[in-house]
């Protein structure tokens, strides 16, 4: 007890309230708290106890004892304050004991995590773990708390609803006077929106504000990446520089806000046909760039350029006004026209200016050779259209033999195109274009019908009991009606399914095995055999092959032409024959030109063969005579 009565006497200006006096009179004692003043003028909290004492002579004394309670009062105030902070802060607070068992949390903790007090008290904080951090992360965190008494940093935690969120977390250990850890206090804030803002800022740094397309910076970064993967895959990367013709006129006549809307509409229309790993970027103004990879040949680039140009054959409706918009486009292709983004963009820009000079609404390649290819492509594409209408196609047949007994097992149907001025156009030249433009659907149907008609006739006349193998491209198979067309032909021409086989290429099937396996199974159910063409070039996996409903593997001509002298070709051919054997499939070697090749294949156990050595492809009439002669 710290009696300060003496000092208290210096502040005699305290008048006791009447209620206190009344209590003292009645009860004999009372206590009172008030702010007192010291001799030096400073204030302090006083607890005063007043006692009424009556001595033997009935004299009345009042004994007042005072206690300085300033420190107690201050502690109380602080406690009250921290409790308020604890409850009212927007930061989540979690208090654990030394064993990391949660002993208290605040309301903000519940707001952020969705977990109520009753759900967490007594639990370990690991209930919040997101699973995003490795154990090492937590180990480092605890080490820092041990060494330094605290840790702070960003951490991903999990809310009650399973959502994972980022928080800024501060953990401190609480020690007693002896320096032993009594518990831990974690204070954290949800930084989801902060992160989102950061992401948005990041997005804005790499995108054009108006169209939200990648900007020049992002385009260059992507191009860099694209060029390096293209180098590995030996594919072409095209940079297409596009500029809207007379865009300035639109801006001048209708104002910038309408001009902006047109830019957005143009961006959207082009973006719709982009594949996922291609990039459409806006450089600013009315200039756009497309960067595309995975082109196998210059023809494919030309085809794509035409698709883009065709997009603008339809008008744009903006603010209820109709606009006919055209583009000028310049194209550079890596690696021939450059292998850095800067050079490719510069060269595409140069070509674009040439296109503008050529009267706009057109495209130009930086490389003149490409312009020739694109010209040929346009010519072939147009000629194909009339070729279909004018019946310029004919089916040739190349016989296939059984190597064990020289018997004919059937023919492969090979289409020929006799163009009035171009002459005989090789399938290798026009099939890819026919596929790109879907004209292969009409051509393929014609070949299938002709094959059915011819094999039916040869069967009926007893000239041939084999079958005709018809090449079917992916575009045809993708077309949902292929199986229907096949069934129709079989019924209409009264052809038994065993008289037809279809050939699909290995590379096509392996591009998306799951999908093609189910399509091929449907064809197989019709009773038509399936052979895998150009085998050995398409990187089949054994597990896919096992599930493929195929009957025959056609060993690609490129290997046959190198046997028996080249070791690599020999080992591939041997491997294919052995693998086919173990899978229960037949093998057919295509492109046999010499007796040596034939003998090698017979020795290795290849079953069937086809090639110039046996016979060149012949038209229907010649095949008929050839069959007759062999009889």
| Interface with Ca ion (CB under 5 A) | 471, 503, 533-534
Residue 238 neighbours by CB distance under 10 Å: 28
# residues contacting ligand C2E (CB under 6 A): 24
For residue 531, the minimal CB distance to ligand C2E (Å) is 10
Q: Which of 611, 618, 624, 627 binds ligand C2E (CB under 6 A)?
A: 611
432 binds ligand C2E (CB under 6 A): no
Determine the Cα–Cα distance for residues 236 and 298; give it in Å rounded to an integer.
8
Q: Which helix (H) or strand (E) holds 508?
A: helix 506-511
DSSP 504: E
471 binds ligand C2E (CB under 6 A): yes
Contact predicate 520/549, CB 8 Å: yes
- Does residue number 428 form part of the binding site for ligand C2E (CB under 6 A)? yes
Instruction: Return the number of the residue (23 or 398) whose C-beta is nearest ligand C2E.
Output: 398
- Which partner from the list ligand C2E, Ca ion, none does 431 bind, CB cut-off 5 to 8 Å by kind? ligand C2E
Minimum CB distance to Ca ion smaller for 435 or for 534? 534
DSSP 10: G
Contact call for residue 569 and ligand C2E (CB under 6 A): no
**Which of 79-87, 146-154, 230-238, 586-594 is the region at the interface with ligand C2E (rule: CB under 6 A)?**
586-594
Tokens coding 262: 């047109």
For residues 445 and 503, which CB has a smaller minimum distance to Ca ion in the complex?
A: 503
DSSP result, 241-273? EEEETTHHHHHHHH-HHHHHHHHHHHHHHHHTT
- Which stretch, 315-323, 383-391, 457-465, 466-474, contacts ligand C2E (CB under 6 A)? 466-474
For Ca ion, the closer CB: 259 or 591: 591
**Residue 563 contacts which entry, Ca ion, ligand C2E, none (Cβ below 5-8 A, type-dependent):** none
Shortest separation between residue 409's beta carbon and ligand C2E, angstroms: 15
Binding of residue 591 to ligand C2E (CB under 6 A)? yes
CA pair distance 171, 151, nearest whole angstrom: 5
Output 292 or 440, the one with its CB closest to ligand C2E. Answer: 440
| Interface with ligand C2E, residue 387, by CB under 6 A | no
Identify the bridge partners of residue 167 per DSSP, sorted by sequence position. Answer: 155, 190
What gap in Å lies between CA 111 and CA 92, rounded to an integer?
8
Tell me how far the alpha carbon of residue 573 is from its chain's centroid: 38
Q: Which is nearer to ligand C2E, 36 or 474 (CB)?
A: 474
Q: Classify burial at 264, counting beta carbons within 10 Å of its beta carbon; exposed 0-12, middle 13-18, buried 19 or more.
A: middle
Contact of residue 62 among ligand C2E, Ca ion, none (CB under 5-8 Å per partner type): none
Distances in Å between the Cα of 603 and the Cα atoms of 112, 472, 561, 582, 597 are 76, 31, 16, 17, 10
- Cβ proximity to ligand C2E: between 145 and 485 the closer is 485
DSSP-derived letter for residue 207 is B
- CB of 93 or CB of 502, closer to ligand C2E: 502
Secondary element (H or E) of residue 281: strand 279-284
Nearest to 98 by CA among 182, 18, 172, 170: 182
Q: Is 469 in the site for ligand C2E (CB under 6 A)?
A: no
Residue of 214, 217, 166, 222 lying closest to 190 (CA atoms): 166
- Residue 380 neighbours by CB distance under 10 Å: 21
The reply to whether 474 sits near ligand C2E by the rule CB under 6 A is no
Which of left, alpha, beta for 498 (phi over 0: left; psi -120 to 50: alpha)?
alpha
470 close to 447: Cβ distance less than 8 angstroms: yes
x/- string (CB under 6 A) for ligand C2E, residues 150-169? --------------------
Residue with Cβ nearer Ca ion (355 or 468) = 468
Does 595 bind ligand C2E (CB under 6 A)? Our answer is no
410 near ligand C2E, rule: CB under 6 A: no
Q: Does 562 bind ligand C2E (CB under 6 A)?
A: no
Under the binding rule (CB under 6 A), the answer on residue 617 touching ligand C2E is yes
Q: Does 427 bind ligand C2E (CB under 6 A)?
A: yes
Per CB under 6 A, the segment of 67-75, 191-199, 579-587, 589-597 that binds ligand C2E is 589-597
Which one-letter DSSP state was computed for residue 162? S
Minimum distance of ligand C2E from residue 399's CB (angstroms): 10
493: Cα separation from own chain's centroid: 47
> Whose Cβ is closer to Ca ion: residue 347's or residue 471's?
471
CA-CA distance, 399 to 539, in Å (whole number)? 28
Q: How far is the CB of 622 from ligand C2E (least distance, A)?
A: 14
Minimum Å gap between C-beta 430 and ligand C2E is 9
**C-alpha angle 261-266-269 in degrees, rounded to nearest 5:** 125
Residues 524-553 that bind ligand C2E (CB under 6 A): 533-534
| Best CA proximity match to 506, nearest among 541, 543, 470 | 541
609 contact choice in ligand C2E, Ca ion, none (CB below 5 to 8 Å, kind-dependent): none
- How many angstroms separate the CA atoms of 335 and 48, rounded? 96
Q: Which residues bind ligand C2E (CB under 6 A)?
A: 398, 413-415, 426-428, 431, 440, 444, 447, 471-473, 533-534, 557, 590-593, 611-612, 617
């Amino acid at each position: 007890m710290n009696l300060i009565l003496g000092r208290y006497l210096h502040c005699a200006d305290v008048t006791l309230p009447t209620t206190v006096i009344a209590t003292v009179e009645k009860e004999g004692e009372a206590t009172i708290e008030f702010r007192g003043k010291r001799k030096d003028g400073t204030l302090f909290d006083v607890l005063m106890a007043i006692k009424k004492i009556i001595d033997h002579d009935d004299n009345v004394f009042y004994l007042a004892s005072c206690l300085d309670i300033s420190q107690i009062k201050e502690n109380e105030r602080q406690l009250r304050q921290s409790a308020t902070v604890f409850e009212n802060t927007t930061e989540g607070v979690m208090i654990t004991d030394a064993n990391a068992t949660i002993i208290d949390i605040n309301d903000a903790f519940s707001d952020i995590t969705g977990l109520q007090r009753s759900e967490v008290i007594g639990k370990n904080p690991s209930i919040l773990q997101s699973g995003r951090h490795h154990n090492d992360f937590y180990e480092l965190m605890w080490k820092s708390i041990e060494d330094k008494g605290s840790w702070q940093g960003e951490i991903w935690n999990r809310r009650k609803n399973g959502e994972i969120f980022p928080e800024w977390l501060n953990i401190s250990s609480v020690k007693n006077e002896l320096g032993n850890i009594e518990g831990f206090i974690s204070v954290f804030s949800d930084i989801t929106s902060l992160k989102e803002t950061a992401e948005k800022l990041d997005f804005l740094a790499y995108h054009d504000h108006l169209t939200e397309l990648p900007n020049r910076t992002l385009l260059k970064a992507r191009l860099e990446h694209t060029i390096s993967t293209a180098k590995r895959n030996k594919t072409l990367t095209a940079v297409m520089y596009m500029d809207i013709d007379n865009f300035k006129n639109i801006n001048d006549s209708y104002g910038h806000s309408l001009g902006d809307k047109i830019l957005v509409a143009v961006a959207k229309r082009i973006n719709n046909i982009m594949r996922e790993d291609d990039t459409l970027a806006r450089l600013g103004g009315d200039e756009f760039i497309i960067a595309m990879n995975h082109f196998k040949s210059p023809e494919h680039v030309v085809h794509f350029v035409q698709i883009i140009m065709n997009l603008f054959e339809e008008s744009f409706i903006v603010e209820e006004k109709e606009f006919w918009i055209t583009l000028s486009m310049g194209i550079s292709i890596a690696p021939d026209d450059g292998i850095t983004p800067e050079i490719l963009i510069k060269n595409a820009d140069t070509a674009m200016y040439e296109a503008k000079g050529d009267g706009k609404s057109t495209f130009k390649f930086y490389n003149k050779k490409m312009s020739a290819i694109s010209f040929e492509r346009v010519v072939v594409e147009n000629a194909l259209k009339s070729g279909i209408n004018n019946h310029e196609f004919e089916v040739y047949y190349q016989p296939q033999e059984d190597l064990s007994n020289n018997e004919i097992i059937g023919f492969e149907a090979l289409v020929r195109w006799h163009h009035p001025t171009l002459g005989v156009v090789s399938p290798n030249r026009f099939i890819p274009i026919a596929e790109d433009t879907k004209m292969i659907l009409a051509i393929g149907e014609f070949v299938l019908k002709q094959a059915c008609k011819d094999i039916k006739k040869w069967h009926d006349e007893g000239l041939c009991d084999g079958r005709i193998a018809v090449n079917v491209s992916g575009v045809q198979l993708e077309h949902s009606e292929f199986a229907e067309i096949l069934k129709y032909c079989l019924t209409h021409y009264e052809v038994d399914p065993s008289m037809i086989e279809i050939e699909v290429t290995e590379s096509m099937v392996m591009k998306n095995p799951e999908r093609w396996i189910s399509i091929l199974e449907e064809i197989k159910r019709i009773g038509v055999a399936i052979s895998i063409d150009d085998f050995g070039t398409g990187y089949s996996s054994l597990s896919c092959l096992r599930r493929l409903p195929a009957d025959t593997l056609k060993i690609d001509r490129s290997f046959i032409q190198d046997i028996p002298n080249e070791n690599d070709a020999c080992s591939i051919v041997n491997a294919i024959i052995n693998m086919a054997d173990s899978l229960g499939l037949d093998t057919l070697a295509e492109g046999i030109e010499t007796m040596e090749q034939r003998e090698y294949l017979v020795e290795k156990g290849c079953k069937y063969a086809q090639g110039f050595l046996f016979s060149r492809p012949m038209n229907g009439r010649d095949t008929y005579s050839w069959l007759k002669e062999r009889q």
